[in-house]
Structure 1
């Protein structure tokens, strides 16, 4: 007996003690956040290099770490969306069901957007941000690009089968020469369309498409494994992103736009901590479970300021933590990432339009407020595939006939506001699929109630633990067999 129990110590118990050396993933994220803030303050205290413009080495390092992590996440987006959507269509086996789920999803996009824009308009009237600022119209500047109602059609039709395109940034030097930086960009909406068409075509092709669908399932498994590796770097990425934000932006720029910034963040907080919980409770879902499950994506969105960069994590928490079936989540979450933006498309443009009207001395009528609501609800679909709150803001201002030069007044605080906007965007992108799945009877309620940040790694962790346990289990089994043999031999000797 003592031999057997001693033999088991190097196995499961020893591994349990070893596992205690590392904090949980949630704690790692919080540690990364805290360390990033400290390093950001240190970089801010050091200041720029001697020329007064070049960032110091610590700021550059933080920027490199954070941007590299977001780049890795963005790199996995195209193959993840394509393979996941093709697989989901193959699993649904019916276009009708997919169409119904898509309709319900878009309906809830509109419902939450309408509530959010109403809050934005109300706060704009209460805070009067255009009247409570030290800025003047002399500081206004035209935006470099604007959003239009044709952006949806322009972005919907794929330029190629992969939904990829080339982007070139040209800069003019002081000596008259030009430099060009060419890269590859992608449009999530176009990839979504391509994947839907190919998935439906595969279904219509019958048995001939089985090898392709089998290959797609294998590719999806590989992409998800790579995604898991990238997500494991989230604590390090969080440190770099928040550290660079603190070092680069500080809070000095908020002084002249304090009322405007406060109105934005109050609106974002009301949507995230009041509206969403009310909708969850109205649909019979626990609020704490949702926050616990969705928080890794919300937190990453806040520090990264990128809904597209956060998309892989958003989709993963929606499936693994919140219990939304992958067949539906793989379609709904990418669609939400392009059209579901309660922060950027509802709260922000509503308050910003009121700010611009007030600072230019333009009185808005009831019709104008209705137009703001209309643009917020429908405009996010019209600009689907285009990123940035400025697209929605310029679309709103141009629709109302307000001066586009007012956009230049808000650029100083945009990065700070963008953190909160993106967090609310991503929160809504997990909320709507969860509500729709619950209403359609698809949600795994047991998984939803048990949601935690650690559920992101359940499958992989279980597989790795099983592989790690196999040798120890074999050793334990061998020890048990030996002990059993000794007992049987002793009994046989006694009988003899």
Structure 2
């Protein structure tokens, strides 16, 4: 066959591919590096006003800009969570006709939640006894302070009952001004657990309604497609959001606060690393799954969780990578991932409370017995469900301390380093939220193994937006074929007809 090419009369030349942007994961890394550099620059600039009159220091313009960029990105992600959870769960309920083991899937999911949480809390207790964080600190009990909110065992039941059909609530904060006047600020919040319950109820009702619910289910499928498209646009801003989030963290917290709690902080991060890089790989290998494939597929959600410090804000990305990269069926993932985002927290609900409880006990001179350690394990495994209606590791910590009868004032000793520790905790939380649905899907034989093995952070958005160059190339090929057919049918010269027929056959 000749390598020469012949121009077809009337055919347009194929457009050359232009300058391509770096891959999505590279963009995230670039945003992370740029954020660190800008954060250190903002930190070196110092506050705009030191706040010597007793007021809080006023951050400089760069810090404010980074904070605005990062918080706006997380706000956008959180805004898409309610419609995403609702439409995805209703759609998955509608597809339950094809899922014969739905109850077994739910049971296996909860079982693996408990198994991995138990291992994580055991690691936390062990590290607490090894590092002795309460004995290796310069802090004293005089610096302790009562927490602003606590967790109770009734939170789970209260969180299950929706306050309204949308699962929305109002948060009101009251502050006292310099002149003693009170000002109130009210904002809208949502409870993921309540939205989950509402969506389940409506989805089951639609399923039981038969043909009458078909228009509603068709509308829900269309709404889900629209929500996913908006989500795609928001996630594309992740590199910019990463820059703002990590930059603001560096500019605001620095690393000075780690000095007095160095042993405690080191114990937390060693525990998080053991769970993420030892326990999870062992679970994957024991179920016949490749470790590197899982890391490649889940990495976009893990790294976003680290910089955003929000499991709920990362939820859309977590569900996306679980379905698209790791091969978990959407009918199962749309239920398991939102549930995991509220109850599966190996970082916040297992490692952190265990080490923190030992720290508080040591600094207040309280000797813990074997029964107390068993209580820590019990609260870590079960307590995350009890606090599912609330957010924050401090809520889980106060539940643990109150169950053990330890002073809640010890929580105030840990607030200085909480933002720095929260980055690692949230990353491990989200990693576990992708791990369990993947393992359960594999054990139940519904995991797309080919898709899992090909997992990559680069195919997160495949099939959402066709490449412009590829579309132009297809149009050029189609135009060339049409021109060739026209030349043959219009009875042109013999050479043209032969050329057109040869091209058409090719």
TM-score normalized with structure 2 length: 0.91
Q: Conserved in 2, the CA contact under 8 Å of 1:155 and 1:187?
A: yes
Q: Conserved in 2, the CA contact under 8 Å of 1:339 and 1:384?
A: yes
Q: Conserved in 1, the CA contact under 8 Å of 2:109 and 2:336?
A: yes
Within 2, Cα distance between the matches of 1:129 and 1:494? Answer: 76
Q: Conserved in 1, the CA contact under 8 Å of 2:438 and 2:447?
A: yes
Query: Do structure 1's residue 102 and structure 2's residue 110 form an aligned pair?
Result: no
Q: Conserved in 1, the CA contact under 8 Å of 2:15 and 2:472?
A: no
Distance 1:394 1:477, change over 3 A: farther
Q: Conserved in 2, the CA contact under 8 Å of 1:7 and 1:479?
A: no
Q: Conserved in 1, the CA contact under 8 Å of 2:172 and 2:186?
A: yes
After TM superposition, give the deviation of residue 99 of structure 1 in Å.
2.0
Within 2, Cα distance between the matches of 1:33 and 1:438? Answer: 33
Can you give the 5+ residue segments of structure 1 that lack an aligned partner in the other structure?
A: none
Within 1, Cα distance between the matches of 2:17 and 2:303? Answer: 28
How far does the alpha carbon of each residue in 1:247-297 deviate from its partner, in whole angstroms, 9 at most, with x for none?
A: 000000000000000000000000000000000000000000000000000
Q: Conserved in 1, the CA contact under 8 Å of 2:66 and 2:244?
A: yes
Within 1, Cα distance between the matches of 2:63 and 2:101? Answer: 50
After TM superposition, give the deviation of residue 462 of structure 1 in Å.
6.1
Distance 1:160 1:95, change over 3 A: farther
Matches within 5 A, 1:20-169: 20-50=19-49, 53-93=57-97, 97-169=101-173
How far does the alpha carbon of each residue in 1:312-347 deviate from its partner, in whole angstroms, 9 at most, with x for none?
A: 000000000000000000000000000000000000
After TM superposition, give the deviation of residue 43 of structure 1 in Å.
0.5
Q: Conserved in 1, the CA contact under 8 Å of 2:11 and 2:479?
A: no
Give the number of aligned pairs: 493
After TM superposition, give the deviation of residue 167 of structure 1 in Å.
1.3
RMSD: 3.6
Within 1, Cα distance between the matches of 2:293 and 2:459? Answer: 12
After TM superposition, give the deviation of residue 232 of structure 1 in Å.
0.5
Q: Conserved in 2, the CA contact under 8 Å of 1:11 and 1:473?
A: no
Distance 1:214 1:361, change over 3 A: same
After TM superposition, give the deviation of residue 15 of structure 1 in Å.
8.4
Q: Conserved in 2, the CA contact under 8 Å of 1:26 and 1:454?
A: yes
Distance 1:167 1:9, change over 3 A: farther
After TM superposition, give the deviation of residue 101 of structure 1 in Å.
1.0
After TM superposition, give the deviation of residue 178 of structure 1 in Å.
1.7
How far does the alpha carbon of each residue in 1:186-211 deviate from its partner, in whole angstroms, 9 at most, with x for none?
A: 00000000000000000100000000
Within 2, Cα distance between the matches of 1:494 and 1:28? Answer: 42
Q: Conserved in 1, the CA contact under 8 Å of 2:124 and 2:355?
A: yes
Q: Conserved in 1, the CA contact under 8 Å of 2:8 and 2:480?
A: no
After TM superposition, give the deviation of residue 18 of structure 1 in Å.
3.5
Distance 1:492 1:137, change over 3 A: closer
Q: Conserved in 2, the CA contact under 8 Å of 1:95 and 1:200?
A: no
Within 1, Cα distance between the matches of 2:442 and 2:310? Answer: 27
**2:464 aligns to what SS in structure 1?**
helix
Distance 1:178 1:276, change over 3 A: same
Query: Do structure 1's residue 447 and structure 2's residue 446 form an aligned pair?
Result: no
Can you give the 5+ residue segments of structure 2 that lack an aligned partner in the other structure?
A: none
After TM superposition, give the deviation of residue 420 of structure 1 in Å.
0.1
**1:165 aligns to what SS in structure 2?**
strand
After TM superposition, give the deviation of residue 5 of structure 1 in Å.
8.0
Moved over 6 A (4+): 4-16, 467-485, 489-496
Q: Conserved in 2, the CA contact under 8 Å of 1:80 and 1:220?
A: yes
Within 1, Cα distance between the matches of 2:346 and 2:421? Answer: 13
**Pairing partner for 1:424 from 428, 434, 437:** 428
Distance 1:488 1:330, change over 3 A: same
Distance 1:206 1:47, change over 3 A: same
Distance 1:418 1:487, change over 3 A: same
**2:153 aligns to what SS in structure 1?**
coil
After TM superposition, give the deviation of residue 456 of structure 1 in Å.
1.0
After TM superposition, give the deviation of residue 29 of structure 1 in Å.
0.6
TM-score normalized with structure 1 length: 0.93
Within 2, Cα distance between the matches of 1:495 and 1:219? Answer: 43
**1:184 aligns to what SS in structure 2?**
strand
Within 2, Cα distance between the matches of 1:11 and 1:337? Answer: 57
Distance 1:172 1:102, change over 3 A: same
- The farther-off stretch of 442-451 and 92-101 is 92-101
Match of 1:462 in 2: 467
Q: Conserved in 1, the CA contact under 8 Å of 2:48 and 2:58?
A: yes
Distance 1:7 1:109, change over 3 A: farther
Q: Conserved in 1, the CA contact under 8 Å of 2:17 and 2:469?
A: no
Within 2, Cα distance between the matches of 1:138 and 1:261? Answer: 20
After TM superposition, give the deviation of residue 459 of structure 1 in Å.
3.6
Within 1, Cα distance between the matches of 2:502 and 2:8? Answer: 31
Distance 1:478 1:232, change over 3 A: farther
Q: Conserved in 2, the CA contact under 8 Å of 1:156 and 1:189?
A: yes
Distance 1:293 1:13, change over 3 A: farther
Q: Conserved in 2, the CA contact under 8 Å of 1:164 and 1:187?
A: yes
